[in-house]
Structure 1
Amino acid sequence: MGRIVISSNVTLDGVVQDPDGEEGFERGGWFHRFVTGKDLEAWVARETAEVLGAEALLLGARSSEWFASRMLGADVRVSPEWADRVRSLPKYVVSSTLEDPRWSNATILEGDVAKEVSELKRTVDGDILVYGSYRLVRVLLEQRLADELRLMIFPVVVGSGRRIFDETGDQQPLHLVDMRKVGDGLMFCAYELVGG
């Protein structure tokens, strides 16, 4: 049975929007401004270990395109081991409009998201990572399809922007399963979603 694992970089005030600054958000670009040296090395090591333990990626259409534009080119800014694993994993892209994903090993999931993801959980054995894909993440949380939430918390407050928990409908209890300092300034927290 598969487990949906949402893995996200987030500011201390919960913003997930435009970490690399390439979306044009006025407060974007917080990732590389506040993570360098030992913190960046520790972040890469944790991300690489996480993706090496995954069996698949689940992405929204825009996040799939964002990752493909960076992963399929020659200039990859993260560890080659991480990039190779991302490229090789099966990818499931939730979209009602995308016809031809750029990945060679991608399957488009159309129709009812809850039904498609539930079926995916039945057919994939192991962790199914969700990167970015914040509209999809909201659906996964609302439909109680996510099993774990992993947050890499960056030591910055940006004040405004899209947050991972914007527009949530119901309260959802979480159970802390891991918490540790990463590098000199990052904090990693992992939560099981109760009833996920």
Structure 2
Amino acid sequence: MGKLVISENVSLDGVIQDPTGEEGFRFGGWFGRMGDKDREAWARVEFEEALDAEALLLGGRSYEWFAGRWSSRSGEWADRLRNLPKYVVSSTLEDLGWRNSTVLQGEVVNEVSKLKQTVEGDIVVYASGRLVRTLMEHDLVDELRLMTHPFVLGGGERLFGETGEQKPLRLAGTRTVGDSLVLLTYRPLRDA
């Protein structure tokens, strides 16, 4: 059975909005503020995660962003992402140009539940904020990996918006990445 892993870059105050500054958000571009040592360490962690993944699950906008940047790149990391099966939750995308990509047809909770039954290993979700909230709301998430950047933005879309109920989590790991990033790993407490 697959393990659904949320992998997010977040500010210290939980903002995920516009990390690269391309959306025009007034606090956007915070991802690019890390130093070279942090960027290199971040890239090693992310590459390791891609090597350990068996599939990717992405929302439509995140798929377009990743496909636009990774489908034509060269190197081991790009090859790994290109070769991984990619499942896309979208009601508008039909023509997926990034190799090994499939649009999930039907209701998202049912389709992701089926996907977890068919994929053995980690199914990694990058970005995809709305999708993440849906997956959390329906208890489909098995692990959260939050790469925490040392910025308090003071505003913006946060990873977790309003939820129907509390979602208790257990800290499963912490890891310093570079000089100033922290990777926090949490797992849901199902019987809490």
TM-score by length of 2: 0.96
Q: Helix, strand or coil: the match of 1:149? A: strand
Q: Which amino acid aligns with 2:180?
A: G
Cα displacement (A) at 1:5: 0.1
Q: Which runs of 5+ in 1 are unaligned?
A: none
* Residue matched to 2:41: 42
Q: Which amino acid aligns with 1:182?
A: V
* Residue matched to 2:82: 87
Question: Distance between the aligned counterparts of 1:195 and 1:92, measured in 2?
Answer: 25
Equivalent position to 2:100, from 83, 105, 127: 105
C-alpha contact 2:71 2:78 (8 A) present in aligned 1: no
Q: Count the aligned residue pairs.
A: 191
Cα displacement (A) at 1:38: 1.2
Cα displacement (A) at 1:42: 0.7
Question: Distance between the aligned counterparts of 1:102 and 1:168, measured in 2?
Answer: 34
* Residue matched to 1:12: 12
Q: Give percent identity, aligned residues only.
A: 60
TM-score by length of 1: 0.94
Q: Deviations over 1:49-85 (max 9, x none)?
A: 11100000000111101101111234x7xxx322221
Q: Which amino acid aligns with 2:154?
A: G
* Residue matched to 2:58: 59
- Cα RMSD (Å): 1.3
Q: Which amino acid aligns with 2:3?
A: R
Q: Which runs of 5+ in 2 are unaligned?
A: none
Question: Distance between the aligned counterparts of 2:158 and 2:13, measured in 1?
Answer: 8
